[in-house]
Structure 1
């Protein structure tokens, strides 16, 4: 029989005297929860790695990944960067072997000599410093042999020298097949004050010829659970990026609500990145420009994804401008884009880094690739990832409130006269809940203009389905302090 208070677990037909106390946690979560998510690393493993291809594995630290995917593997390097940026994040990886039909990138170092004085060769491979000693009188062949020994001794490098050098020529081969090897950087005397030993010269043939990327679709299908995904995407060919975007479009929908996002980084000139941006248009993807940086693009993507995910989980509205990619060397000034080029690329949906006076690499702007709506009209609605994640967070908080407080309530009109203890919900009750949530989010700096939200809020019982409540909400997400514009009118 219905009473003025309705319990979930205490029966109403017990005749024996008893004391029953039901405990409920519907009001226990008074604090603002963070947006639940996990960082997912997809990438290539080496044959030495013990992990099963296509199977998701929880990632604890880079040393574990070195065992599972192989030291010096793509996944090993990605894990190092992601964990350095966000060491306490929930993180998993899905490994894949090289595409059998692919080809590994190759490059050549051609040395000249002999050395007229002893010294040290400062060599950089993927940003890693390798120092090779040179004695006076060393010939080109001797120098090449020593260089090969040092490269092969550094087992964490993304390339090796599988064939002994001949006539002063060192043949470099990427550890992985695929396009990723084409972006591996090799240079000498890269920092101020460094130089080659007297009499020693080198000509670099850049890494090239890498082809064939694995298919990301099976890896996405292997990702389990309902947590939102922050994907580090190492393959930036159109087919793989489009496959990931399509997968995340489905997850973003109103029934799944697993709002996910991919982070990638692309090498190339300003012109090539302009073309790349023109061919992407999705709210779930962020692509950074690697403008002559010494480290591989997938390493930059992993570090940026870790930083952005960490801040975005705790405060979706706070800008990412100025977050430092600690330890990542900045590109030479001649290789950096201009302010005008950065601005133009942002309009194309390409995110950018900036560089400090001390050589720090920092995030400048994180945007999505979404630029035009379904009608082909330009839009800035999802330009910033802050806007997307701010809307995601509002949806998450509203859904969590309803699920927590009203999991098994009855529905009624506002003029229904029911006992206060009855589990009934009406439009006015939910309207009050929505307003209360908005005030909470205003206090935590996520939204503004509460009165406008209250005036435009619509909460109605459906006329098509008596068991359904319909709502229309227009949260005004706070903006980011990006620009300080000042006019100074001096007086003589």
Structure 2
């Protein structure tokens, strides 16, 4: 029986017509690239879930809308705000939330708004907390204490606020909803939109902010061990990580890295990428960046004066990257806008020279497009050095690993579908047609054919050189094993367009113009 059947037995004698179906030559790869959003949830045991149950910390749960996120994780929580940005930037993704408990031994960040002088004229105060605007009506005869009371009422009326508020006399105290150092990133300011948005301070009203308009005093970092253990081998392609303390970054780098136990390791083959954001001064970012070195982590640099919290930027960055890389993992992410995020004021934005310098120390960069919305400039990873500590750009940009993941999945789908239960023979073996046998040459031909498809789809280039450098051979010590040296040439991106404008005031009159 030269044809290899999988199901019909060779000793079957009943008449007449029997068919077994073989899909091995029909299927195409299917890409499930879920987003995992990691941040704090409110209160003990997280927020109420479906049917009055509770959502436990450290266990991922599927989320289908902003409203579901708020119901599960609590209004104003990190995850509530992050899911707002996720769905602003990617409405079609499969998204999961991973609620992390606040550090039990931590301290919540606080800040104070003091009404330093009462108004002399009526108006509207536009107050921004973490980039969220609330408007407070101000009467000409309001006292400082009354203005403070009205500020508290306006903040409490917005359930999405990342802070709670109370006032004593003319001082408003804001407290981050979650303990930990991340609360120190919360920004407070007034009239961010300026005259173009119709925002101005009511006459006579004076407000002062401690710590330059930032909350301060938050201490403590989250524990990721249980949450990471609970992920198991579930496929979460892209992670929006709210935290950038070194312990958290290292933990997620290990989960998604190249070690035996990492998602990019040879055993798990799950792949994926982690996105975060870090807000500080240029000088501090330039110092902070070289401390990181991971191919699987991309941290976006934000101006310290940026109103929106870094965890919301991380969510927007993840959502836009996931949306684009699913369509084409090799296209650069530059110019993709981060909807729902506010940029730093014009006079406080990073300069092009500063953005360029930060990209050399492993920081992804952003800058507003012509429409004023922040957009991805360069999707840099934190990878900067090889194992010997020497400068290296092998994994400099997010698209490199995204493209490799697509190639590996395409290849795995082809090999596991077409050769699931095959025998292995040497090249030149004369076996009958239809036999479930492969040789190194047959496998090599399949890999070259797959490469041609990947080339057609714009993922790789130089197919001839690939074929010349591809090696497929039987293992000399294990006759049942095939070893492959797979050398893809990844397609590159148009990231720089450089022009030397060598102008003239007038060309030589002796130039032959007959060909013009």
Q: How do residues 10-409 of structure 1 correspond to structure 2 at under 5 angstroms?
A: 10-30=8-28, 33=29, 35-47=31-43, 49-50=47-48, 51-161=55-165, 163=166, 165-193=167-195, 194-205=199-210, 206-249=214-257, 250-291=262-303, 292-409=305-422
Contact 1:54 1:219 survives alignment (8 Å): yes
Contact 1:94 1:222 survives alignment (8 Å): no
Cα distance in 2 between the residues matched to 1:228 and 1:207 = 33
CA shift, 1:334, in A, is: 2.2
Q: Deviations over 1:446-468 (max 9, x none)?
A: 01111110111111111111001
Equivalent in the alignment of 1:428: 441
Cα distance in 1 between the residues matched to 2:88 and 2:232 = 24
Cα distance in 1 between the residues matched to 2:354 and 2:30 = 35
CA shift, 1:225, in A, is: 4.0
Contact 1:262 1:286 survives alignment (8 Å): yes
Q: Measured at CA, do residues 106 and 346 of structure 1 come closer, stay the same or move farther in structure 2, by a change above 3 Å?
A: same
Cα distance in 2 between the residues matched to 1:190 and 1:56 = 36
| SS of alignment partner, residue 468 of structure 1 | strand
Q: Measured at CA, do residues 64 and 224 of structure 1 come closer, stay the same or move farther in structure 2, by a change above 3 Å?
A: farther
Contact 1:35 1:314 survives alignment (8 Å): no
Contact 2:277 2:301 survives alignment (8 Å): yes
Equivalent in the alignment of 2:474: 461
CA shift, 1:174, in A, is: 0.9
1:442 aligns with 2:452: no
Cα distance in 1 between the residues matched to 2:442 and 2:168 = 81
Q: Is 185-194 or 441-450 further displaced after alignment?
A: 185-194
| SS of alignment partner, residue 343 of structure 1 | helix
Contact 2:85 2:339 survives alignment (8 Å): no
Q: Deviations over 1:394-441 (max 9, x none)?
A: 111111111111010000011100011000000110111011011101
Q: Measured at CA, do residues 356 and 15 of structure 1 come closer, stay the same or move farther in structure 2, by a change above 3 Å?
A: closer
CA shift, 1:316, in A, is: 0.8
Q: Is 196-205 or 241-250 further displaced after alignment?
A: 241-250
Contact 2:118 2:206 survives alignment (8 Å): no
Q: Deviations over 1:373-404 (max 9, x none)?
A: 11111111000111111112211111111111
Cα distance in 2 between the residues matched to 1:114 and 1:307 = 44
Q: Is 433-442 or 222-231 further displaced after alignment?
A: 222-231
Cα distance in 2 between the residues matched to 1:167 and 1:227 = 53
CA shift, 1:196, in A, is: 0.5
Contact 1:370 1:383 survives alignment (8 Å): yes
Contact 1:368 1:383 survives alignment (8 Å): yes
Segments of 4+ moved more than 6 angstroms? none
Q: Measured at CA, do residues 460 and 24 of structure 1 come closer, stay the same or move farther in structure 2, by a change above 3 Å?
A: same
Q: Deviations over 1:43-72 (max 9, x none)?
A: 111127121112221111121111111111
Contact 1:217 1:244 survives alignment (8 Å): no
Q: Is 88-97 or 288-297 further displaced after alignment?
A: 88-97
Equivalent in the alignment of 2:429: 416
Contact 2:2 2:435 survives alignment (8 Å): yes
Contact 1:112 1:201 survives alignment (8 Å): yes
| SS of alignment partner, residue 178 of structure 2 | strand
Cα distance in 2 between the residues matched to 1:35 and 1:386 = 16
TM-score, normalization: structure 1? Answer: 0.96
Cα distance in 1 between the residues matched to 2:183 and 2:102 = 12
| SS of alignment partner, residue 478 of structure 2 | coil
CA shift, 1:489, in A, is: 2.5
Contact 1:354 1:364 survives alignment (8 Å): yes
Q: Is 349-358 or 415-424 further displaced after alignment?
A: 349-358
Q: Deviations over 1:221-245 (max 9, x none)?
A: 1114442431111111111111111
Give the CA RMSD over aligned residues. 1.3
Cα distance in 2 between the residues matched to 1:339 and 1:34 = 40
Contact 2:233 2:268 survives alignment (8 Å): no
| SS of alignment partner, residue 143 of structure 1 | helix
Q: How many residues matched?
A: 486
Equivalent in the alignment of 1:5: 3
CA shift, 1:331, in A, is: 1.1
Equivalent in the alignment of 2:465: 452
| SS of alignment partner, residue 251 of structure 1 | coil
Cα distance in 1 between the residues matched to 2:156 and 2:218 = 20
| SS of alignment partner, residue 263 of structure 2 | helix
